[in-house]
A and B are shown apart, each in its own frame.
Chain A
Amino acid sequence: MAPLFKKPKYSTIKGVTTKKEIPEGLWLKCESCNEVVHKDDLESNLNVCPKCDFHNPITWQERVELLTDSGSFKPQDVDMSSVDPLKFTGTASYKDKIAENQTKSGIRDAVVCGAATLDERPFALGVMEFRFLGASMGSVVGEKVTRLAELATDRRVPLVLVTASGGARMYEGLYSLMQMAKTSGAVGRHHGAGLPYIVIMSHPTTGGVTASFASLGDIIMAEPGALIGFAGPRVIKQTTQATLPEGFQTAEFLKSKGFIDRIVARKNLRQELSLLLGYLS
């Protein structure tokens, strides 16, 4: 099999790259265990740290490749882009942020949606891209997820969303908040039509996305070690002055609290999704 992943997702560590015998960017540091890992070892392992099993974020292309039949994914609304409805004035302009992230990521906003098949079973797939402004939800993410749910309802196919998000997109103010209601309503109509909805939570899934469509799956799966929650741990600590329990807000913690159906290693995700689609279709 050709290498699935091509780009380094780990941050390059400064100390190592200055040594002349090691070519730049070949050695990377795991953001979870801080161990130094060779780039090739990571890529051949679906970007999962071979030392600690931490599931680092992967790009939307890699995710689509992982979860669909080759060439079956038909993206929709690819040109949809954010405008600056509040003419947000802060330390940086929202317009500049958007432009910068579009150039960096090659996509127009933080979610990619479309129809696809897996083992020839049709479904609607949405993948959030954390590299784009922390996959925060503004009007575009809200609208695209809503249209994807509508597509799934119209075609009477399962809806699958791979989530990751830092929360709502502040730059769009209350418009962002309203996307929580809009997406939940659309997912609700899909639900009302008796159709299955599968959520795969990846690291990290937080804030307004957790408090809307991400938490409404009939099946909720998560990747190992993923941070999942509504409020951030720092805010909780500040507000309650409490010591957070070990593993708080991890996928494993939430499974033990009854929120998550299955924790699935990335290497098994395709097979499990296929099985689920079989049971649910």
Chain B
Amino acid sequence: MSRRHVLDFERPIYELEQKVDELERFGRLNDVDVDEGLERLQEQIDVAKKEVYQNLSPWQRVQLARHIERPYTLDYIERICTDFLELNGDRHFSNDEALVGGFARIGDRRVMIIGQQKGRNPEDRQRRHHGSMLPEGYRKALRLMKLADKARLPIISLIDTQGAFPGIDSEERHIGEAIAVNLREMFTLNVPVIVIVIGEGGSGGALGIGVGNRVLLMENSYYSVITPEGCAAILWKDANAKEQAAEALKLTGHDLLELELIDGIIHEPEGGANQDYDAAATAIKTAILEQLQQFDGKSADELRAERYEKFRRLGTIAE
């Protein structure tokens, strides 16, 4: 996929790539051999990429997690699922399109897949609140998960949200209760639940579909109790301190794995999933199938108990 949207820290790479374009044009127009120059530039690009992408700061990963060309839930479903049968609505109020889900087949496995869906264009973004769910979204998610429980199908939950939707209607329909009930009920599911943060793991809005037997992060996603901007505004009284806040919050996959708050990291193509949707999708698919295999033969009691114990031990205290 060609690079269209360039992040600030990617400029050095982008400038070299522009030079390649220029040199190629020059060669074509003047009919001269520029291969040697192109080769040298390519070497420089490789070095620059290594330099940039292997030393990403937490804030830079947040930027990649929010990249407007990053693959979203439906991009993954399209690539890793067959026979996707989308299901809609919470049976009470509405159909929140910030959450999509349905039956699907991944490899030879039948599953229920749900996920938060951002929008690709302004209209789509508005319709889906850019992946920020309303109460009816959490209730829809729970309905689909209970359905999976009935059908004895594993649940795949893809997280990509900056948080639950902060609005008047959200509060009027009790967003707090909707999330809380999901947290309580996800512990009672009798099937394996695999949670993958594919982009933004924003606070309670993410956790509301995030109680899993396994919780994995894509390499350039983040999972945090608050956005770096929100944390900066409160603790530094300055939203510009977002880089320090991103650092302090320990929100990257590598930090969270070290703290044993997540179970694993899914490797992304160089430069982020936005550079190669197919490669990112293959990585996710492989991870899902590997994880599901680990639950083969486990009883419902074991699955529930393991999920409970996993969250029961999270926390650091002195007594």
Give residues in B with beta carbon < 8 Å to A: 164, 166-168, 170-177, 179-181, 183-185, 187-188, 203-204, 207-208, 210-211, 223-226, 231, 234-237, 244-245, 247-251, 256, 259, 261, 308, 311-312, 314-319
Contacts and interface: CB of A to CB of B under 8 A. Distances in A.
A143 B166 contact: no
Contacts of B251: 173-174
A90 B179 CA distance: 30
20 contacts: A80-B318, A81-B318, A82-B317, A90-B235, A92-B235, A146-B312, A170-B226, A170-B249, A174-B249, A174-B251, A174-B259, A180-B204, A182-B311, A184-B183, A207-B204, A208-B203, A211-B179, A231-B167, A235-B166, A236-B167
Contacts of B164: 211, 230-231
Contacts of B250: 86, 173-174
B168 to A, nearest CB: 6
Interface stretch (A124-132, A213-221, A270-278): A213-221
Interface stretch (A2-10, A22-30, A240-248): A240-248
Contact of B259 (A85, A244, A254): A85
A140 interface: yes
Given A83-B317, A85-B316, A211-B164, 16 more contacts: A83-B316, A89-B244, A175-B314, A180-B204, A180-B207, A181-B314, A182-B311, A185-B311, A189-B308, A191-B184, A208-B204, A211-B208, A212-B183, A216-B180, A230-B170, A236-B170
Contact of B185 (A89, A91, A188, A210): A188
A114 to B, nearest CB: 15
A136 B183 CA distance: 19
Contact of A176 (B174, B187, B225): B225
A177 interface: yes
Contacts of B184: 184-185, 187-188, 191, 216
B180 A175 contact: no
A229 interface: yes
B317 A244 contact: no
A170 B225 CA distance: 7
A229 B318 contact: no
Nearest to A245: B168
B171 A249 contact: yes
A79 interface: yes
Contacts of B319: 77, 79-81
A75 to B, nearest CB: 13
A211 B175 contact: yes
Contacts of A142: 315
B174 A143 contact: no
A229 B180 contact: no
A257 interface: yes
A222 interface: no
A206 B164 CA distance: 14
Contact of B174 (A188, A213, A236, A259): A259
The 3 closest A-B pairs by CB, nearest first: A139-B315, A231-B166, A184-B183
B180 A174 contact: no
Nearest to B177: A215
B226 A168 contact: yes
Interface in A83-141: 83, 85-86, 88-92, 139-140
B261 A174 contact: yes
B225 A177 contact: yes
A166 B318 CA distance: 23
Nearest to A84: B316
A268 interface: no
* Candidate in A88, A90, A174 with the most chain B CB atoms within 10 angstroms: A174
Contacts of A82: 316-318
A177 B244 CA distance: 20
B187 to A, nearest CB: 4
Contact of A242 (B167, B174, B237, B249): B167
A85 B188 CA distance: 29
Most buried by B among A82, A90, A181, A192: A181
A230 B171 contact: yes
B273 to A, nearest CB: 21
Given A88-B248, A192-B188, A185 B168 contact: no
Nearest to B138: A211
Nearest to A177: B225
Contacts of B223: 174
A178 interface: yes
Contacts of A18: none
Contacts of B177: 215-216, 259
B236 A188 contact: no
Nearest to B182: A184
Given A168-B226, A231-B164, A240-B167, A182 B176 contact: no
A173 B223 CA distance: 9
Interface string A153-174: 0000000000000001110111
Contacts of A211: 164, 175-176, 179-180, 183, 204, 208
Contacts of A239: 166-167
Contacts of B210: 181
